[in-house]
Amino acid sequence: MDPDETPYLLPDGERVWVVSTSEASKNLANVLNLFRSGKAEPLIFGDAGQPEGVVVPWELWRRLDALAADEDGFDHAYELARQRLADPQPSIPLEEADAQIGWDLDEEIDDSDFKPR
């Protein structure tokens, strides 16, 4: 039987905690209360310690969806990111990746919609 929460190492070395699907379903009401109180940590869940889904606050999802829809070439960038995550080779510096997906890292970004932590 899987533990209720398992650490999962991302390709960039960051660790996230994956909650079992059964535990996530038991705690949805508690997660909603956390979202309402302003503690908007995502709930990452899946089986066998593998992340398969994530629950985020509605407003965050709307912002992310709008950003994704507004970006030129998002499909290309998304596909490139998926390929890179599936490739076990070491990652490349962001400065090299930005040119491949058409981003300008020096461009000013309006982040006024995002809450400071």
Q: Are residues 9 and 38 in the same domain?
A: yes
Listed as ranges, residues in the chain with pLDDT below 70 are 1-3, 69-74, 90-91, 115-117
Q: Are residues 47 and 16 in the same domain?
A: yes
Residue 35 within a domain: yes
pLDDT, residue 87, reads 76
Overall pTM > 0.85: no
CB 97 within 8 A of CB 83: no
Q: Are residues 11 and 51 in the same domain?
A: yes
pLDDT, residue 116, reads 66
Residue 25 within a domain: yes
pLDDT, residue 33, reads 93
Side-chain-facing half-sphere of 33: CA atoms under 13 Å: 4
- Structural domains in the chain (count): 2
pLDDT, residue 29, reads 93
